[in-house]
Amino acid sequence: MSIPETAKEIHLVDYPTGKPTPEIYEVVEAPVREPGDGEILMRVVFMSVDPYMRGRMNPHVKSYIPPFQKGEALDGGAVGQVIKSNSEKFATGDYVVGYNGGWREYYTGPTDGFNKVDPSLAPLSAYLGVLGMPGFTAWAGMSQILEPKEGDVLFVSGAAGAVGSMVGQLGKLKGCKVIGSAGSTEKCDWLTGELGFDVALNYKDYANSTELTKGLSQAAGKGGVNCYFENVGGMHLEAAINCIAFGGRIALCGMISNYNDTKPEPGPYNLTNLIGRGVKMQGFIVSNFMLLARDFYAEVGPMLAGGKIHFRETVYEGLEKAPEAFNGLFEGANTGKAVVRVAPDTA
Ligand SMILES: NC(=O)c1ccc[n+]([C@@H]2O[C@H](COP(=O)([O-])OP(=O)(O)OC[C@H]3O[C@@H](n4cnc5c(N)ncnc54)[C@H](OP(=O)(O)O)[C@@H]3O)[C@@H](O)[C@H]2O)c1
């Protein structure tokens, strides 16, 4: 495959206040650099949009990952084909997935965080979702923090998203009663239909945490919620803390309802419940568990191949759609994993 002289990438022009607007991005035609020693040149097929990228648009907030720089290309997960390799790790023609390489048509750079993928086992885009970072996040939060047991009641917010849809299915496979929350009837129907959740709550039917507490309490039954997988924050966290069982566990994975806030929202009013009920609440970042990646693939690969795990993707066509795809995360536009097809999938 020939190497083009230039290709498109999306640059950050300005940091957003609140929800990102189209003006903060610029599509730039940039030179395609030849790979140096130990580097690869990858033709990107799919790129990922993920909620954590909003945190990288806050230049003054100290985080586990540095902010994007104005005037430079954005970055993030991508899957594609190596078209030139100066690395011993990959050969020309290999399909690879990495934590870098998104928001552009071609990636030239080091291979850290890149792994070879087998396009005959799953569609390439799945390596950004169910078999990628979000699937691994779900698996890690469940296996390393919540540790659900048969008969436990598991509640997951953001349940129709990339992480949440996996969490609920893993819970069902463990023999839990699974309650999910999502933002539309269609999403709730998917949860209780194809994914086998026991109950799905459309959180838009509940005006505040008191109302949501009533709905969740009724769904959970007398014993309450043993495990809560937190993706959303705000009234979801308050309702979950109200309903948490004695000895319950809460995994703090994300709080997407706060990511575009321009001032901090008050925290949950009811944390005292955690003391008397002996609840463990623990935050985590998926990279904390990177050494367990092989265990994730060993467990989830066969589940997927055996039809025990289902997934959906919302695919945006063309690199220029990346900003729209990203904003869609905050608007509930995706069901399952949101990805952008940057080039035809030739695998
Ligand atoms: N800790 C980690 O290492 C890690 C790794 C990956 C992801 N995460 C976190 O996990 C969460 C889910 O990520 P994901 O990749 O699976 O995204 P996703 O759930 O596929 O997409 C985001 C979803 O969040 C929901 N949402 C957006 N704004 C909301 C609001 N104000 N209130 C309630 N729901 C809202 C929307 O669904 P509805 O239609 O249902 O509103 C939207 O589709 C995020 O908080 C993310 O930051 C953490």
Q: Ligand 1 center to residue 184 CA distance, Å?
A: 14
User: Is 302 contained in some domain?
Assistant: no
Same-domain check for residues 141 and 121? no
Is residue 110 domain-shared with residue 145, that is, in the same domain?
no
CA distance 114 to 36: 16
- CB of 138 within 6 A of ligand 1: the answer is no
Closest atom of ligand 1 relative to the 163 alpha carbon: 16
Q: Looking at ligand 1, which atom is closest to the CA of residue 256?
A: 45
Note whether 192 and 66 are same-domain residues.
no
CA of 52 to the centre of ligand 1 (A): 9
Cα separation, 32 vs 151, whole angstroms = 54
CA distance 295 to 139: 10
Check whether residue 145 and residue 279 sit in a common domain. Answer: yes
pLDDT tens for 255-310 read 999 999 999 888 999 999 999 999 999 999 999 999 999 999 999 999 999 999 99
Which of 142, 163, 165, 287 maximizes ligand 1 atoms within 8 Å of its Cβ, making it the mutation to test the pocket? 163
Q: Residue 173 belongs to what domain range? A: 133-287
* Pocket lining: 97 vs ligand 1, CB cutoff 6 Å: no
Alpha helices in 108-234 (DSSP H): 133-140, 162-173, 185-192, 209-220
Q: Specify the pLDDT at position 226.
A: 98
292 occurs within a structural domain: no
* Ligand 1 atom, smallest distance to 164 CA: 16
Instruction: Find out whether the beta carbon of 257 lies less than 6 Å from any atom of ligand 1.
Output: yes
Q: Is residue 270 domain-shared with residue 326, that is, in the same domain?
A: no
141 and 274 in a single domain? The answer is yes
Q: Is residue 300 within 8 Å of residue 135, measured between CB atoms? A: yes
Residues 103 and 147 in one domain: no
pLDDT at 143: 98
In a domain, 115, yes or no: yes
| Domain annotation covers residue 296 | no
332 is a domain residue: yes
Q: Is 327 in the pocket of ligand 1 (CB under 6 A)?
A: no
Number of folded domains that form the chain: 2
CATH number at 162 reads 3.40.50.720
Query: Both 139 and 122 in a single domain?
Result: no
- Measured at the CA of 92, the angle between CA 297 and CA 287, to 5 degrees, comes to 35
Residues with Cβ within 8 Å of residue 85, at least 6 apart in sequence? 35, 40, 41, 91, 92, 94
For residue 39, being part of any structural domain is answered with: yes
Which residues in the chain show pLDDT less than 70? 347
pLDDT of residue 347: 58
Phi, psi values for residue 341, rounded to 5°: -85, 115
Residues 58 and 121 in one domain: yes
Examine residue 305 and state whether it is found in any structural domain, yes or no: no
Residues 57 and 175 both lie in one domain: no
Domain co-membership, 145 together with 124? no
The pLDDT, as a whole number, for residue 7 is: 98
Does ligand 1 come within 6 angstroms of the Cβ of 330?
Answer: yes
Q: Pick from 208, 231, 340 the residue to mutate for probing ligand 1's pocket: most ligand atoms within 8 Å of its CB.
A: 231
- Would you say 171 and 196 are in contact if contact means Cβ atoms under 8 Å apart? no
Whole-number Å distance between alpha carbons of 339 and 317: 9
Shared domain for 37 and 143, answered yes or no, is no
To the nearest 10 degrees (0 to 180), the angle between helices 209-220 and 235-243 is: 40
Residue 253 lies in a domain: yes
